[in-house]
Amino acid sequence: MSEASDQTILAIDYGSRRIGLAKSDPTGLIASPIGTLEVTSRRDALSKLRRVIDEIRPTAIVIGYPLLASGDMSDKCLEIDRFIEQLTDSYSGPLLRVDEAHSSTEAHQIIHAHGKRVGRQKKRIDKLAAVIILQRYLDETRNQ
């Protein structure tokens, strides 16, 4: 990834009710939270996500992929695969699956470490999980 070019990457922490979002800075070094989409269906999720994509115009999208500890696909992976398939109707750039192992647990730990309680603020977890997924991807890509 060239540091001189605009390489904004969008990250998605997919859920059936909430979708956490993060994006990289144009250099592809730092992940920042965008927010959380509250969704009622996959169609609603795709519609709202298309608006975000049109606004951000990412060069790539990374999506959290919840592999099992064994490395095998979880049931949620199959749901995400269907979601990605439908997303390709409106986004032609690279869609990259990134193992999201422990990203939500890590998000909880970060929030608690800052003296906050999660409680009903699940949106906070989802967008922070998206940041963690994206930052892992950016760090791994930079180290290759």
Per-residue pLDDT at 126: 74
CA atoms within 13 A on the CB side of 13: 30
CA–CA gap between residue 80 and residue 70 (Å, rounded): 18
Q: How far is CA 1 from CA 10, 22, 70, 115, in A?
A: 15, 18, 30, 36
Q: Which domains does the chain have, with CATH numbers?
A: 9-142 (3.30.420.140)
CA–CA gap between residue 114 and residue 16 (Å, rounded): 28
Q: Which residues of the chain have pLDDT under 70?
A: 1-5, 101-124
Per-residue pLDDT at 109: 55
Model-level pTM?
A: 0.82
